[in-house]
Amino acid sequence: MSEQNIKFFPVLGIKMSAVSAGIKKAGRLDVVLFELCEGASIAGVYTKNAFCAAPVQVAREHNDAAQARFLLINTGNANAGTGQAGIKDALHCCEKLAAVSGLTAQQVLPFSTGVIGEALPVEKITAVYAEALASMSEQTWTAVAEGIMTTDTVPKISSRQISVAGSKLTVTGIAKGAGMIKPNMATMLAFIFTDAKIDKATLHELNLSHATRSFNRITVDGDTSTNDCCMLTATAQGELDYASLSDTDRATVNAVLQDVYQELAQSIVRDGEGASKFVTIDICEGLEQSECLLLSYAIAESPLVKTALFASDPNWGRILAVVGRAGIPDLDISQVSIFLDDVCIVENGGKSRSYSEAAGQAVVSRPAFTIRVMLGRGSISERIWTCDLSYDYVKINAEYRS
Amino acid sequence: MSEQNIKFFPVLGIKMSAVSAGIKKAGRLDVVLFELCEGASIAGVYTKNAFCAAPVQVAREHNDAAQARFLLINTGNANAGTGQAGIKDALHCCEKLAAVSGLTAQQVLPFSTGVIGEALPVEKITAVYAEALASMSEQTWTAVAEGIMTTDTVPKISSRQISVAGSKLTVTGIAKGAGMIKPNMATMLAFIFTDAKIDKATLHELNLSHATRSFNRITVDGDTSTNDCCMLTATAQGELDYASLSDTDRATVNAVLQDVYQELAQSIVRDGEGASKFVTIDICEGLEQSECLLLSYAIAESPLVKTALFASDPNWGRILAVVGRAGIPDLDISQVSIFLDDVCIVENGGKSRSYSEAAGQAVVSRPAFTIRVMLGRGSISERIWTCDLSYDYVKINAEYRS
């Protein structure tokens, strides 16, 4: 999908660099360092995959034990499915970086993404520390966003700067991910930074709540990664102190955070492996949140729906079949209606009388559109974002390791 | 996948014909009639999709109300998502056939498969009744198996004849299906016939139990059709009376039935849309059936696993990631091992020490192989069958209606 126009605001208290360690390909940026100023706090939500990767386990423990000063990220190798050796490798990378920086190993949080099941190339990573530390800057957001990419085709940055209660607030984040995307309480990798002062407990709450409504509402292929992490850092170097804000001003801050989280999450779907369409799934009038989410993911992950979307085919029968099989208890199909943007395709459980193939075709030919299912049984709504399934998805994933 | 060598044994009491009504393409067999002799009993299991198609509703009601004498099957149009008009159309087709045969409409069971959401071409179907009735025969199994195909590339017939307790037993069945395959208490369309005498209640029990271990253990793409039906007919025209058999002889009969059901179910997976590989998923050492089935389908329906299989890539990390995300409660990953046929790829939650890429590659390059996950937490096993995800799956489903 099309390249984004990337603008960003630096975040006071955050320095970064991206260098090439030759993990997968020579010359490609694949090791990224973030340095957090003293006094910064950081909160994380992590993959719920039982085969949680080694760096995720180490990052979680380190962040609980000490004040993080470095985020160490490598691409090209996930250090997942590597057992005790993987833990040892992740720790070793932290120790080496701590040693040259006068810190403890627990002040380094490691993150990895890439191929699962191969030993982490520890020597290659530690060999570039000197170069990475020498090139730290507050400005190289584009380079670090590139440095964490795997099958992504575009770097993903979202950045906002506003004034709240007379104080300037900056929020800037990066993310990566294109396949194995169905984050469960987290995403592939997302790092969001703000210059506000926010205590760690509040920061964790904010991170969880915003990740839930962004990274936890997207799916490319229904596969949850072993390495998902979403980290929110607050440096306290800016003008804004979250604790002293009124409820209204907090709502403004949260709207900006949600904006950045959703833009990053949506950019993952837009860059979904082989994706040619960006599709919003709205489930409305449900009895419970769980049934709305169940149905939204059933539609978003149906290969038959996804291939029809790829073909710009308004094959409403396939959507209807998914609504029927999704497992919503006691569903009264006569109350169900389905829309493609504003075009009603199903009403009273059958094809809408007003529906014309031309009208449906016009909607699904758009690069972005909404599938909306009205269940007619309650007042709960849920929204997720997904993409289509194309030849290129198969090509990318059939050739990934070759 | 390769053409099967089709042999069949006629079933006493069953006549059939297949004719062309021009529903989708001129000249293609698309209407099939089965005539059941007087005294035959028939049992059905049907789709659990809430958007159950009109013919499924009518067939179920008719079979409860009267003794079925005709199965009327059309392809090219599923008569699904058609509301009350669809019910009326299905009934009209039954009434017309009953009228020319001296029967009641309830003695006709209608079945449809094909595109969802278009009106059934009633006139085209009823126009070929005379031709269909004039050409009834006990021998044309291949023609009727062809007559129910949609995106299938080969007709699917399974047939056995054995002697049980000195009596000859014949079981012959046909099935169709290649996509939208994840039967839920039923399959796409399967019609199995035996010349044994079996009362209706027993027949229903047998049909349910055999469908559960065959058609309900396959998935091509995780999508459950609105039209799934699996019908078992017993004509009582042969030598065998099920009620009078010993337990041992009943077990023999059930083994033959299971053989026919599984051969038909597996032939659907082998002919899965775009499939190049036939994959058995064995989940062993589970605590409960539900977790074994949950995991088996999670693996079988993972686009990342399926595309790796298509590429003959022993990407065990993707299998491991699915085991981790499938949602098995309190899974101890250190007890998990995974095999590709006899090659151990994962043990103690990490890559097996004995594993070599060459050994894994050799297995997944085979046209058929088994992925076996040992959970190390109980004694329950489940087995399902699936196929890979190829360019051709996308091609077939992106072009289906054009």
Over residues B163-187, the pLDDT tens digits come to: 988 898 999 999 888 777 766 544 4
Residue of A128, A133, A93 whose CA lies nearest to A111: A93
Which chain B residues are Cβ-neighbours of A227 within 8 angstroms?
Answer: none
* Nearest CB neighbour to B401, from listed A310, A315, A333: A315
Q: Which of A308, A272, A301, A395 is nearest to B310 (CA)?
A: A395
Higher-scoring residue by pLDDT: A271, A110? A110
Contact list in B for residue A321 (CB cut-off 8 A) is 49, 51, 80-81, 116, 180, 223-226
Of B51, B226, B302, the CB nearest to A223: B302
Structure confidence at residue A286 (pLDDT): 96
Q: Quick one: tokens of B203?
A: 């027949």
- pLDDT tens per residue, range A292-342: 999 999 999 998 899 999 989 888 888 988 998 888 999 998 899 999 999
pLDDT over 90 percentage in chain A:
51
- The whole-angstrom separation of Cα A102 and Cα A108 is 11
Q: State the Cα angle at B377 between B375 and B381, rounded to 5°.
A: 60
A281 touches chain B (CB under 8 A): no
| pLDDT band (50, 70, 90) for residue A1 | very low
Chain A contact set for B333 (CB, 8 A): 50-51
**A374 φ, ψ (degrees, to nearest 5):** -100, 115
Q: Say yes or no: A390 contacts chain B, CB-CB below 8 A.
A: yes
Q: What is the pLDDT of residue B316?
A: 85
B304 touches chain A (CB under 8 A): yes
Considering only CB atoms, which chain A residues are within 8 Å of B310? 394, 398
Length of chain B: 402
pLDDT given for residue B183 in this prediction: 63
Phi, psi dihedral angles at B154 (to 5 degrees) = -135, 145
Query: Above 90 in pLDDT, residue A393?
Result: no
Residue A29: pLDDT above 80? yes
The closest alpha carbon to B233, from B181, B188, B170, belongs to: B170
Q: Is there a contact between A321 and B82 if contact means CB atoms under 8 Å apart?
A: no
In this predicted structure, the answer to whether residue A137 has a pLDDT above a threshold of 50 is yes
Contact of A227 with A53, CB cutoff 8 Å: yes
**In the prediction, which pLDDT does A104 show?**
97
The reported pLDDT for the residue numbered A25 is: 85
**What confidence score (pLDDT) does residue A221 get?**
76
Look at B325 and A398 and tell me if their CB atoms are within 8 Å.
no
Average pLDDT over residues A38-53: 86
Residue A184 has a pLDDT of 54
- For A64-114, the pLDDT digits (tens) are 999 999 999 999 999 988 888 999 999 999 999 999 999 999 999 999 998
Assign A7 to helix, strand or coil: coil
What is this model's ipTM? 0.72
Ranges of chain B whose pLDDT falls below 70: 1-6, 182-188, 400-402
* Model pLDDT, residue A6: 59
Interatomic CA distance for residues A21 and A23, integer angstroms: 6
Identify the CA nearest to B299 among candidates B360, B370, B211, B396: B370
How much is the pLDDT for B219?
78
* pTM exceeds 0.80 for this model: no
pLDDT tens track for B369-398: 999 999 999 999 999 999 999 888 888 888
Angstrom CA distances, B85 to A73, A123, B88, B89, B122, stand at 60, 70, 5, 6, 11
Round to the nearest angstrom and report the end-to-end CA distance of chain A: 23
Cβ proximity of A206 and A258 under 8 Å: no
pLDDT in tens, A222-236: 777 777 788 888 988
- B178 vs A: CB within 8 A: no
Residues of B catalogued as catalytic: 187
